[in-house]
């Protein structure tokens, strides 16, 4: 790397942001890193305002006061919501909140690398720019799997599968910026599992009260594919009384529901890749995103892909921060003249 | 890791970083060449510096007059003014939600300004009788041909509110930079091409409007590409445009005259407009039959009416701004002409001939970024004052009924 002149730009705070459908994370060059649930809430009415104050709420606080808030998930379905003013505001608010969490010095310049779901990158690059314009001096926007790949140094002959909540994004790296053909996106991801699970459970236990939030936390705690050693039991209320339900098979079926499509897409992408390097790519598949934490998912995919030959799948160490750390690495490495002015 | 491998990785990292740069600069964002980044930090610093300057001036005043009370109050007032100005990006205060009560533009003003009587000939410039005629005529023609009575009746119905068209929160404004690619448009004596200037003005306007709340702005072209008018029209339709503003430069062969005029769709008011229309329709990409079908689709009086209003606002602002730069500029007013791009768009659409590239003085000025920025600023003010007027009408509607739409 050419040595950069020491000047103002080195005082700037470099940040990497991972804008996710379910969770958003930030990592900054001052060593701080934080994450929040991608939820933004505005008090619904004057009662709510009296209780919560006239302010915007984020993350867990939103979950807590869900009933008295207008809640927006700014990146539902992997694209920036648009339509009402609140939708557009919510992204900006979320980014502002994330930046405030890493506590930049007052008036410190901020150079931000933002990773977004691949679909959002295509559809609303400008909305992202607008959302961050108030907070950052310079900005680059990249797709989420690319940020992960960059952060892990998997720049050559690697495949990243970022299984988030809204979308599953694929990206093949081959030593250059991935082109359109090297990236693909499926809309079946974590949220889809939740819906499947809710459907299966209400079918089997019509009397029990399950809701999306409960289901999501079940999955995050106990999600698995393949064989399970223990029985999975959860408590849910039937007519107000707690009853224990066995959800082992439902959980497996729901979690496995997204995998055939993922395996097929991965195989297709590898098959289209230069044959000389296919072996290398197959042995360098990296799973990222929240769904990579589902137990047994790597074994399942390895088996599914084994018809193409032996392959090796690894899971990122810390899926929560992999994207943000990758963004930060990118922000740190980016030569000054490559940054875009806001 | 072997040193070869390390070197290889470094090289590919550099390639990738360059790729990220290309990817980010290639689409989505335009460079903002003539504007300072408006970051909070920078704004804060500049406010600070100015406050210090003001304090110093205040101190001088203080030492001269030794009047402590006056000193404090004058400094406070100036500071307050500065802050207010800054929020509006140094432009004269526009009509915002906060000061909507003091909108300077009223229907009466506009017609007054358009009428030949209001004296847009300063007497200095070369006199052009047709321009006089056309300006007067355009107003008279629009009435009878499209049946003023027809849309009067429409507006008299209590259920119809034009604001409903715009009540969705976000307004999508399509900025169309005229010509481009193989079609250079008009070419000045010194070789300046219309396509380049319109694109630059369009970008400036785009960047200005980007900062406005509640406005979604898109451009038909963002580079030097050939686009047929058909393509532009379809582009606007696809993006559910609410307004379309097409930017062009006029050319008057063999004449030093510089005129500003704004068109909306209608039958040509005179031969000169017809010529302009012919020139601008040249690359339309529409077959004759399709064009006829489009004409049959006309009769959308609402669009017509709104287009005229938008044209008035733009014309007024552009002329006022440019006449300060060049006192010989002639206000040719709002006119109608059958431009394809205006007809095809389903929304209020205008074509602004912001100035004449055929005038060498104007050509030289157009080459300067500051002058282009002035034009873009004038277009922005025109668009915003039109939108604000709509918003205001929307607010007044419940009390005043539909009278506010009465033709003056």
d(CA B60, CA A30): 44
- The rounded mean pLDDT for chain A is 86
Closest CA to A286 of A151, A178, A166, A175: A151
Q: What is the DSSP string of A34-52?
A: EEEES-EEEE-SHHHHHHH
User: To probe the interface with B, which of A13, A16, A155 has the most B CB atoms within 10 Å?
Assistant: A155
Please state the rounded mean pLDDT for residues A64-87: 78
Per-residue confidence band for B199, with pLDDT thresholds at 50, 70 and 90? very high
- Note the pLDDT of residue B137: 38
Please state the rounded mean pLDDT for residues B92-101: 38
Q: How many CA atoms lie within 13 A of B383 on its CB side?
A: 31
Q: Which of A235-249, B26-40, B55-69 has the lowest mean pLDDT?
A: B26-40
Interface membership of B21 toward A (CB under 8 Å): yes
Interface membership of B237 toward A (CB under 8 Å): no
Q: How distant is the Cα of A338 from the closest Cα of chain B, in angstroms?
A: 5
Closest partner CB to B28 (pick from A125, A338, A342): A125
Residues of chain A above pLDDT 90, percent: 30
- Tell me the pairing of strands A138-143 and A69-72: unpaired
Tokens 């399970």 sit on residue: A228
Interface membership of B158 toward A (CB under 8 Å): no
Please state the rounded mean pLDDT for residues A122-148: 84
DSSP conformation class of B83: H
Contact A338 B13 (CB under 8 A): no
Per-residue confidence band for A71, with pLDDT thresholds at 50, 70 and 90? confident
Closest CA to A21 of A176, A242, A187: A187
Closest CA to A321 of A135, A124, A144: A144
- Cα–Cα distance list, B130 to A118, B270, B308 (Å): 57, 8, 21
Contact B13 A129 (CB under 8 A): no
Contact B17 A137 (CB under 8 A): no
φ/ψ (deg, to 5) at B382: -60, -50
Identify all chain B residues contacting A176, using CB atoms and an 8 Å cutoff: 12, 15-16, 19
Contact A155 B17 (CB under 8 A): no
Contact A177 B25 (CB under 8 A): no
pLDDT, one tens digit per residue, over A316-335 is 988 889 999 999 999 998 88
For A83, the closest chain B residue by CA position comes to B170
Give this complex's ipTM: 0.77
Residue B37: CB atoms within 10 Å: 13
Q: At what angle do helices B301-325 and B369-400 cross, to 10 degrees?
A: 140
Q: Tell me the domains of chain A and their CATH numbers.
A: 8-150+321-341 (3.30.420.40), 190-256 (3.30.420.40)
Sort B104 into a burial class: Cβ within 10 Å, 0-12 / 13-18 / 19+: exposed
Contact B12 A156 (CB under 8 A): yes
Interface membership of A227 toward B (CB under 8 Å): no
- Note the pLDDT of residue B290: 58
Q: Is the pLDDT of residue A161 over 90?
A: yes
pLDDT, one tens digit per residue, over B294-325 is 554 554 566 777 888 889 889 988 988 888 88
Residue spans of the domains in chain B: they are: 40-87, 116-405
Contact B16 A177 (CB under 8 A): yes
Q: Is the pLDDT of residue A107 over 90?
A: no
The CATH code for residues B116-405 is: 3.40.630.40
For A85, the closest chain B residue by CA position comes to B169
- Note the pLDDT of residue B337: 76
Quick one: which H or E segment has residue B165?
helix B162-166
Interface membership of A85 toward B (CB under 8 Å): yes
Please state the rounded mean pLDDT for residues B148-172: 45
For B18, the closest chain A residue by CA position comes to A338
Contact B20 A142 (CB under 8 A): yes
Identify all chain A residues contacting B24, using CB atoms and an 8 Å cutoff: 139-142, 340
């Amino acid at each position: 790397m050419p040595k950069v002149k020491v000047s103002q730009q080195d005082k700037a705070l470099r940040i990497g942001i991972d804008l996710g459908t379910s969770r958003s994370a930030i990592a900054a060059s001052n060593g701080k890193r934080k994450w929040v649930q991608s939820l933004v809430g505005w008090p619904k009415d004057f009662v709510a305002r009296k209780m919560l104050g006239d302010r915007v709420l984020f993350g867990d606080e939103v979950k807590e006061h869900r009933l008295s808030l207008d809640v927006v998930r700014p990146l539902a379905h992997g694209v920036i919501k648009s339509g009402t003013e609140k939708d557009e505001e919510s992204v900006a608010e979320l980014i502002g909140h994330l930046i405030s969490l890493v506590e930049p010095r007052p008036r410190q310049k901020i150079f931000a690398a933002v990773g977004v779901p691949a679909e959002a990158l295509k559809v609303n690059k400008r909305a992202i720019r607008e959302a961050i314009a108030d907070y950052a001096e310079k900005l680059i926007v990249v797709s989420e799997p690319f940020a992960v790949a960059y952060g892990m140094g998997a720049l050559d002959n690697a495949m990243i599968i970022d299984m988030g909540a809204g979308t599953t994004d694929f990206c093949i790296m081959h030593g250059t910026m991935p082109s359109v053909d090297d990236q693909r996106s499926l809309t079946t991801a974590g949220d889809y599992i939740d819906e499947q699970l809710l459907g299966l459970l209400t079918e089997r236990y019509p009397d029990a009260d399950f809701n999306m939030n409960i289901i999501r936390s079940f999955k995050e705690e106990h999600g698995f594919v393949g064989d399970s050693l223990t029985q999975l039991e959860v408590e849910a209320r039937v007519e107000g009384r707690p009853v224990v339900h066995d959800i082992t098979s439902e959980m497996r079926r729901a979690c496995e529901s997204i995998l055939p499509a993922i395996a097929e897409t991965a195989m297709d992408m590898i098959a289209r890749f230069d044959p000389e390097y296919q072996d290398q790519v197959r042995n360098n598949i990296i799973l990222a995103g929240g769904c990579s934490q589902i137990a047994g998912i790597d074994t399942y995919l390895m088996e599914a892909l084994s018809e193409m030959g032996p392959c090796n799948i690894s899971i990122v160490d810390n899926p929560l921060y992999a994207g943000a750390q990758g963004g930060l690495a990118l922000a740190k490495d980016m030569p000054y003249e490559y940054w875009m002015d806001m | 890791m072997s040193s070869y491998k390390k070197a290889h990785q470094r090289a590919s990292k550099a390639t990738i970083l360059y790729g990220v740069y290309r990817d980010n600069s290639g689409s989505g964002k335009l460079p903002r060449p003539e504007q300072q980044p408006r970051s909070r930090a920078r704004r804060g610093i500049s406010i600070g510096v100015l406050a210090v300057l003001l304090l110093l001036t205040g101190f001088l005043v203080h030492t001269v007059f030794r009047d402590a009370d006056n000193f404090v109050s004058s400094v406070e007032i100036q500071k307050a003014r500065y802050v207010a100005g800054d929020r509006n990006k140094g432009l004269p205060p526009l009509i915002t939600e906060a000061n909507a009560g003091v909108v300077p533009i009223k229907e009466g003003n506009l017609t007054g300004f358009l009428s030949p009587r209001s004296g847009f000939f300063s007497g200095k410039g070369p006199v052009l009788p047709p321009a006089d005629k056309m300006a007067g005529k355009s107003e008279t023609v629009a009435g009878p041909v499209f049946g003023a009575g027809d849309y009067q009746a429409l507006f008299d119905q209590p259920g119809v509110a034009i604001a409903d068209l715009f009540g969705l929160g976000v307004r999508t404004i399509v900025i169309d930079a005229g010509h481009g690619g193989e079609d250079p448009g008009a070419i000045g004596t010194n070789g300046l091409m219309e396509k380049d200037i319109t694109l630059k003005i369009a970008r400036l306007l785009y960047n200005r409007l980007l900062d406005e709340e509640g406005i979604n702005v898109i451009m038909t072209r963002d580079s030097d590409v050939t686009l047929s008018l058909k393509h532009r029209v379809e582009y606007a339709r696809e993006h559910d445009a609410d307004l379309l503003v097409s930017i062009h430069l006029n050319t008057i062969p063999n004449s030093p005259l510089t005129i500003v005029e704004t068109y909306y769709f209608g039958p040509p008011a005179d031969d000169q407009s017809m010529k302009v229309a012919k020139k601008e329709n040249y690359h339309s990409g529409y077959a004759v039959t399709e064009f006829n079908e489009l004409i049959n689709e006309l009769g959308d009086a609402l669009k017509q009416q709104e287009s005229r209003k938008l044209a008035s606002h733009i014309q007024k602002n552009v002329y006022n701004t440019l006449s300060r730069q060049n006192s010989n500029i002639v206000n040719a007013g709002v006119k109608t002409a059958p431009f394809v791009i205006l007809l095809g768009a389903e929304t209020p659409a205008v074509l602004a001939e912001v100035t004449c590239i055929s005038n060498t003085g104007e050509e030289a000025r157009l080459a300067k970024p500051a002058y282009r920025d002035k034009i873009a600023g004038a277009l922005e003010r025109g668009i915003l004052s039109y939108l604000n007027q709509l918003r205001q009408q929307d607010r007044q509607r419940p009390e005043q009924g539909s009278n506010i739409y009465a033709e003056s």
